[in-house]
Structure 1
Amino acid sequence: MPTMDIGTGTLWYEEFGSGDEVVLSSAMGFARGGYPEVLGDPPTGYRVFTIQARGFGRSTHPAAPPEIGWLDQWADDVCAFADRIGVDRFLYTGISHGGGIGWHIARRNPARLKALISVVGTPHDRAGGTGSSEGRRRFIAQRKDPAAVVANLEHMAGWTDDPARIESRRVRFAKQAEEAGLRPDDEAELNQGKPFPEATTDEELAEVYRGIRLPVLILAGMRDGVISPQSALRAAVNVRGAKAVLFEDEGHMVGEESAERLVREVRVFVDELNGVAEPPMRA
């Protein structure tokens, strides 16, 4: 469980796989056995680094929020980490707020990205302002009430009628509610806000997307209680050449609940980038 000194702080990380494709991902934390860890498993076998974002866990905890904002700071931290491991260009993938980090890399340092893979992570609709998402505000306010935390997680995840998934969520969410109550205040109250806060309307957000010029894969769940289908489609129709896969039966927890399903789509996308995708079948 190593840490990396990036000059302005240290970042805790884990490494999986050993392939030629280098994938970086950053977030508050990562579920064991979830996406993007599975990207390192055969047959995909990418070389994956999961990086705990500044302000959380064993990474540096700054005394005050960064002047440039959390998302820009986290984006710069990922690029600094890439410098330390000697990687110029990389695939970046992130889930939810981790996807937001990737969108900020795409704006600040597009030359560093071979591609961006956003998983339930397209920037939020502009309704309610840009200071934070409703879900994050609610989670912070109610984090010491286990029943409220579970209810918030159920809302985020989106509805399901799959008995196995319902039971899995019951167990996971109870554990996460317990962990939320024990989290240090500086972590629990950290609120990064919505990506691209300078875009105050949905049309201004669409204009930001039009300025992004790199390969982007958008993976979204239509039952997501955090990132709306409209958010995913807004990115898909405004980022030139973007590819989007929209799962009707998935929600915001797709990274934990359907990691292999995501990995298959990523592998097809990367093979297409590399020119090695199998040609379509002909009738």
Structure 2
Amino acid sequence: MSVLRLTGADVRYERHGSGDDVVLSSAAGFDAYPAILARPPYDCTVVTVQARGFGRSSHLAEPPAAGWLDQWGEDVLAVADHLGIDTFVYTGVSHGAGIGWHLARRHPERLRALISVVGTPHDRTGDTSSSEGRRRIIEGRHDPAVVEEQFRVLGGRTEGERRLALREETVRALVAHQLALSEEEAAVNQGMPFPEATTDEEVAGILETIDVPVLSLAGMRDGVISPASALRAATRVPHCKSVFFEDEGHFIARERPERLAREVRVFLDELAGYESKGGQW
């Protein structure tokens, strides 16, 4: 893992693989996705950026002046510049996808495409400073029962002996990780993408301005990103391809990364054709 010293923080990043398709991703931490994209048969170059505020990147006592999502996006661009990467595919999961939506809006010239995993902008139900689940986890961050309850809600329902066993493993690991965070990490509240939008129609209006190819991978059992949110992106974002997994929830990147990787490889092949035809699918 390498470090890039930026204004106000050190940001850690790691490079995987050496394929022609260059994929960048940022998050508080990572599961098997997106590094799986560096392996055969996906064969991408993947750069993962640990968001400032978490892990081995600098922890912060106060939120960045730019706001978490926009600051994280700027950090991704700084890492790309440092590595000499002009344009790239960005992918992110949950809050990591939120970073991508901000990049697509603010810096579309840097993105070949956005791949959003369980991360379409939230439904608007009042306060845009956080989802209800995130707020409850922050408030109850010292209580294992509260944290576990919220992760079970976020994951959504599942069934089948193997899937249920995997979900139990997922929840145990997430609770243990959450309880081990520093106070600064545990208190980070990144808020919703596009917090200035206070209604679903205002979110849709912003989505209509996104001018990069988008792949949205959505779990219909997600406990935080609703099917309505995923459908809003599918119908309002130009050049958006959406894949809806009926039997997946918010933890698909941890529990079933191969399902995501297969869809990403298909999309990247389609993207190459789109680019060779001058922006025509």
Is the TM value for this pair above 0.5? yes
Mapped partners of 2:203, 2:219: distance in 1 = 20
- SS of residue matched to 1:275: helix
Cα displacement string for residues 114-170 of structure 1 (whole angstroms, at most 9, x for unaligned residues): 000000000100013211100100111122222222221111111011211211222
2:256 to 249, 255, 258: 258
Matches within 5 A, 1:1-283: 1-31=1-31, 34-275=32-273
Q: Specify every segment of 5 or more residues in structure 1 that has no aligned partner in the other structure, as ranges.
A: 277-283
User: Which deviations, in whole Å up to 9, do the C-alpha atoms of 1:240-264 show, x marking residues without a partner?
Assistant: 1210000000000000111111111
TM-score by structure 1 length? 0.94
Q: What SS does the corresponding residue of 1:240 show, helix, strand or coil?
A: coil
Distance 1:128 1:200 in 2: 7
Letter in 2 for 1:135: G
Distance 2:84 2:251 in 1: 32
Aligned length: 274
**Per-residue Cα deviation, 1:148-194 (whole angstroms, up to 9, x for no partner):** 22221111111011211211222232232223222111110110111
Output the amino acid matched with 1:9: A
Tell me the secondary structure at the aligned position of residue 128 of structure 1: coil
Give the aligned residue type for 2:115.
I
TM-score of the superposed pair, with normalisation by structure 2: 0.94
Distance 2:264 2:96 in 1: 16
- Distance between the aligned counterparts of 1:142 and 1:109, measured in 2? 36
Moved more, 168-177 or 189-198: 168-177
Distance 1:234 1:175 in 2: 32
Counterpart of 2:83, as a letter, is I
The structural deviation recorded for 1:7 is: 4.9
Partner Cα separation in structure 1 for residue 264 and residue 62 of structure 2: 36
Give the whole-Å Cα distance in 2 for the aligned partners of 1:162 and 1:153.
Answer: 19
Q: Over residues 216-254 of structure 1, what are the superposed CA-to-partner deviations in whole Å (9 max), with x where a residue is unaligned?
A: 000000000010000011011111121000000000000
Identity of aligned residues (%): 57
Pairwise CA RMSD of aligned residues? 1.3
Aligned residue for 1:50, secondary structure, equals strand
Distance in 2, matches of 1:210 and 1:107, equals 10
What are the Cα deviations for residues 62-120 of structure 1, in whole angstroms up to 9, with x where unaligned? 34211111111011111111000000100000000000000000011110000000000
The 3-state SS of whatever aligns with 1:262 is: helix
| Residue type at the aligned position of 1:47 | T
For residues 195-232 of structure 1, the C-alpha deviation after alignment (integer angstroms, 9 at most, x for no partner) is 10111110000000111111000000000001000001
Letter in structure 1 aligned against 2:81: D
